[in-house]
Chains A and B, each alone.
Chain A
Amino acid sequence: MTTPVFELKSVSAGYGDVQILTDVSIQVPANSIVTIVGPNGAGKSTILKSIYGIAKVTSGEINLHKLSGESIDVRATKPHHLADIGIAYVPQIDNIFPTLTVDENLDVGYKHNGGTPLQERKEKLYKQYPDLVIRKKDRAGTLSGGQRQMLALARALMSGPDILLLDEPSAGLAPALVDQLFDELVRINETGATILMVEQNARRALEISSYGYVLDMGKNRHEGPGKALAVDPEIVGIYFGKR
């Protein structure tokens, strides 16, 4: 396997004295979609929180390997510098700035990673999201649920990230919008973005993923190509229920 863009190597993490993750390893190859699934309380969200220093990492490594060949120790980077080094994060809820206009949401998301000027990157995103162009001057708080999620993704992409971290992107969306969202993630991925997401909607997420990890009790339990995991009878039975 070639060097991944992003990796967690035997990471243990938790809150205070409570350890949630034990020796978790995740690898995200360039231009892939990697999904972490698992039952509630498995520690999925804690993985993202440990990257942002909200959960305390007690051992292990978190590394970002940029295409330029540069490797960055994420644990040694302050959370508010992660966007600068090329890690973008879309939280599950409250992932837009409601009183800023759509256009301003994109402006504040900008980082000059890779050197593309703000206007150029914004125009490219507006081409991808014609819905947002129409609402450009409106306050983001007035957008519909689906449009908000698109704006949240676009805001994150404004930083020109090497990797996009998504925390349960489909949570709370109406079923019709869920399909639209996953199609969108595939499209973003095809434009060259690397995605690591945590998802509750496991089967649907794994179907579009190049690789998936099943987490249980804070440990790696299974892993494999997304499509294979999505139909693996054992995993389907244990974790996803029969649907």
Chain B
Amino acid sequence: MAEFVQLLFNGLVTGSILAMAAVGVSLVYGVLRLVNFAAGDFMTLGAFIAVFLSISKGLPLIFSVIVAILGICLLGLALDWLLWKRLRENKAGTLALFLVATGVALILRQSILMIFSSGSRKFAINETATFGFLGAQIATSQLIVLLLATSAIITLGLFMAKSTIGKDMRAFSDNASLAAVSGINVNKVVRYVWIINGILSALAGIFQGMVQGRFDSTMGWTLLLPIFAAVVLGTIGDAYGALLGGMTLGLVMEMSTWHIFFGGIPSSYKPVVAFATLGIVLLVKPEGLLGVKARSI
């Protein structure tokens, strides 16, 4: 029982972080048809900025987090202006966009190393502080991250469901040409996508850094495959699907280490578990968890 509670809790934490990152990737893909290979490095950079300001510069953590979020939003908007907008206007294909994104990912990761120097980082939080809950030992930092991530996800869900721009974004992601003839402002939607992606990636990176304890410049990169798996699992381009996919994979990955499954699958196999889950779901439901089968009229 204690082990189950522990793993369930870990799963919720991992799941909420994956979900946040996955929604960002899903929105960017849905609206821009861009597979953002640099998504993991956006996260890492967010965490590095926050740690740099709060630890090296001694600024308050909350302030550092806000600056990190602003930084990643600006990075997204700047890259759009510099690269993606031009590639869109020249009608670049998905493969071209993907390759450029891979280049961006590499440049970002190396820039993080150059600017902040190598070596691992750590937020000034005590991740060894725990409390007992139903026999399990829960880290206080994890609980805080879970609460914050959950509120971020709920806020995001409400924003996507209720706000005009949220609906416009989902409409655009669904059917870009119909959105354009319906008078939805493309440029505005694109700007909002990068802002929301910036908020989500920076927060996901910071939360992951806090939960992990120590992290280095490869933190986001290592998470990229489970994030992509979450996006596809929840039906690619569907923001709600990405939330569901992230939570599902987080839970499955952590739960797979439970001893009742073949004595517990080694934790280094978590990404394998993620992809096995993805494979099984896609075999049964190729359109993803929330996908609607294409039907003719």
Partners in one complex: yes
By a CB distance below 8 angstroms, the chain A residues around B175 are: 94, 96-98
Q: Check A159 against B183 for contact (C-beta < 8 Å).
A: yes
By a CB distance below 8 angstroms, the chain B residues around A94 are: 175, 177-178
**Contact of B171 with A by CB under 8 A:** yes
**Contact of A180 with B by CB under 8 A:** no
Known contacts A91-B177, A97-B171: does B297 contact A111 (CB below 8 Å)?
no
The docked-state distance in angstroms from the alpha carbon of A100 to that of B164 is 13
Total A-B pairs, Cβ < 8 A:
74
Contact with A along B150-186 (1 / 0, CB 8 A): 0000000000000010011011011101111111111
Interface of B is mostly: helix
Q: Check A111 against B167 for contact (C-beta < 8 Å).
A: no
**Contact of A142 with B by CB under 8 A:** yes
Q: Check A145 against B181 for contact (C-beta < 8 Å).
A: no
**Contact of B90 with A by CB under 8 A:** no
**Contact of B254 with A by CB under 8 A:** no
The docked-state distance in angstroms from the alpha carbon of A80 to that of B181 is 5
Contact with B along A141-154 (1 / 0, CB 8 A): 11001001100000
The docked-state distance in angstroms from the alpha carbon of A155 to that of B183 is 12
In residues 162-194 of chain A, which contact B (Cβ within 8 Å)?
A: 172-173
The docked-state distance in angstroms from the alpha carbon of A118 to that of B82 is 37
How far does the Cβ of A150 sit from chain B's closest Cβ, in whole Å?
11
**Contact of B296 with A by CB under 8 A:** yes
Q: Check B181 against A148 for contact (C-beta < 8 Å).
A: no
How far does the Cβ of B181 sit from chain A's closest Cβ, in whole Å?
5
**Contact of B292 with A by CB under 8 A:** yes
By a CB distance below 8 angstroms, the chain B residues around A172 are: 296-297
Chain-B contact segment, one of A102-110, A120-128, A204-212? A102-110
Nearest residue in A to B180 (C-beta to C-beta)? A80
By a CB distance below 8 angstroms, the chain B residues around A82 are: 181, 183
Q: Which of A108, A139, A173 has the most CB of B within 10 A?
A: A108
Nearest residue in B to A111 (C-beta to C-beta)? B183
The docked-state distance in angstroms from the alpha carbon of A141 to that of B297 is 11
The docked-state distance in angstroms from the alpha carbon of A155 to that of B184 is 13
Q: Check B184 against A107 for contact (C-beta < 8 Å).
A: no
Nearest residue in A to B164 (C-beta to C-beta)? A107
Known contacts A99-B238, A148-B297, A172-B296: does B167 contact A83 (CB below 8 Å)?
no
By a CB distance below 8 angstroms, the chain A residues around B182 are: 83, 108-109, 155, 159
Nearest residue in B to A146 (C-beta to C-beta)? B297
Nearest residue in B to A156 (C-beta to C-beta)? B182
**Contact of A6 with B by CB under 8 A:** no
Known contacts A97-B175, A99-B170, A104-B167: does B180 contact A79 (CB below 8 Å)?
yes
By a CB distance below 8 angstroms, the chain B residues around A99 are: 170, 173-174, 238, 290, 292
The docked-state distance in angstroms from the alpha carbon of A80 to that of B180 is 5
Q: Check A91 against B181 for contact (C-beta < 8 Å).
A: yes
By a CB distance below 8 angstroms, the chain A residues around B184 are: 80, 108
How far does the Cβ of B115 sit from chain A's closest Cβ, in whole Å?
39
In residues 37-93 of chain A, which contact B (Cβ within 8 Å)?
A: 52, 79-84, 89, 91, 93
How far does the Cβ of A143 sit from chain B's closest Cβ, in whole Å?
9
The docked-state distance in angstroms from the alpha carbon of A91 to that of B176 is 13
By a CB distance below 8 angstroms, the chain B residues around A141 are: 292, 295
By a CB distance below 8 angstroms, the chain B residues around A108 are: 167-168, 171, 179, 182, 184
Known contacts A104-B167, A141-B292: does B178 contact A97 (CB below 8 Å)?
yes
| 25 A–B pairs (Cβ distance < 8 Å), ordered by A | A79-B180, A79-B181, A80-B184, A81-B183, A82-B181, A83-B182, A89-B181, A91-B178, A91-B181, A95-B178, A97-B175, A97-B178, A98-B174, A98-B175, A98-B292, A99-B174, A99-B238, A99-B292, A100-B167, A104-B170, A105-B171, A107-B167, A141-B292, A159-B182, A159-B183
Q: Which residues of B contact A (CB under 8 A)?
A: 164, 167-168, 170-171, 173-175, 177-186, 238, 290, 292, 295-297
7 A-B pairs with the lowest CB-CB distances in the bound complex, closest first: A83-B183, A145-B297, A141-B292, A97-B174, A108-B171, A97-B171, A89-B181
Q: A80-B185, A82-B181, A100-B170 are in contact. List 16 more A-B contacts (CB 8 A).
A: A80-B184, A84-B183, A91-B177, A91-B181, A95-B178, A96-B175, A96-B178, A97-B178, A99-B292, A100-B174, A104-B170, A104-B171, A108-B171, A108-B184, A141-B295, A159-B182
Q: Which residues of A contact B (CB under 8 A)?
A: 52, 79-84, 89, 91, 93-100, 104-105, 107-109, 111, 139, 141-142, 145, 148-149, 155, 159, 172-173
